[in-house]
């Protein structure tokens, strides 16, 4: 905060007091840290007899941060999972700016991405993939984790990972 004299260049000597209130005009004990819109009042006490003391009120808005979404099994997925006959999905965690787990919930979606032809296609799946996609890196699965935060200081976060399910080895027995 600064105060300029009539020339709009020279600073006016004095002191400031800042106070904050919420959107209902309820005074806050200190500067706000949570997402939301706040009133800020600046009281200026002039130490220069040529200038009057003054007060001004304005609003500030603190926007929510995006939640960080980390897919927990991403390293294993990128190297391929062996076919096991079961759905092989992703799992994730939503964290704040300090890495602490946020309250909220996930929705997961899956698709087959096929870029083996000139026109790639994406086919949504009803759930986590089961079948082997082979060793063909032109056809793979995409898992997407969408996190909805219950902490109002954070917005929705999204992360995706590409992966394959490799064919299983067969057991051949000679009797």
Segment 85-132, tens digit of pLDDT: 999 999 999 999 999 999 999 999 999 998 888 888 999 999 999 998
CB atoms within 10 A of CB 154: 23
Q: CA-CA distance, 166 to 154, in Å (whole number)? A: 37
> What is the value of pTM for the model shown?
0.77
- What separation, in Å, do the N-terminal and C-terminal C-alpha atoms of the chain show? 88
* pLDDT band for position 135 (cuts 50, 70, 90): low
DSSP 77-98: HHH-EE--SS-----EEEE-TT
**For the residues 48-56, what does the mean pLDDT come to?**
95
Mean pLDDT, the chain, rounded, equals 92
**C-alpha to C-alpha distance for 149 and 96, rounded to whole angstroms:** 10
21 with 57: CB under 8 angstroms? no
């Amino acid at each position: 905060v600064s105060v300029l004299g009539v020339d709009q260049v020279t600073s006016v000597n004095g002191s400031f007091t800042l106070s904050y209130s919420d959107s209902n005009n309820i005074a806050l004990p200190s500067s706000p840290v949570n997402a939301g819109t706040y009133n800020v009042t600046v009281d200026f006490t002039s130490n220069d007899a040529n200038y009057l003391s003054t007060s001004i009120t304005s609003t500030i808005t603190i926007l929510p941060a995006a939640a960080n979404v980390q897919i927990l099994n991403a390293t294993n997925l990128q190297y391929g999972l062996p076919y096991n006959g079961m759905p092989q999905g992703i799992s994730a965690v939503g964290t704040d700016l300090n890495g602490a787990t946020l309250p909220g919930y996930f929705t997961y979606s899956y698709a087959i991405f096929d870029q083996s032809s000139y026109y790639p296609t994406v086919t949504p799946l009803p759930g986590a993939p089961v079948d082997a996609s082979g060793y063909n890196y032109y056809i793979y699965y995409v898992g997407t984790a969408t996190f909805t935060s219950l902490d109002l200081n954070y917005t929705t976060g999204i992360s995706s990972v590409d992966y394959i399910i490799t064919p299983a080895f067969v057991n051949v027995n000679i009797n």
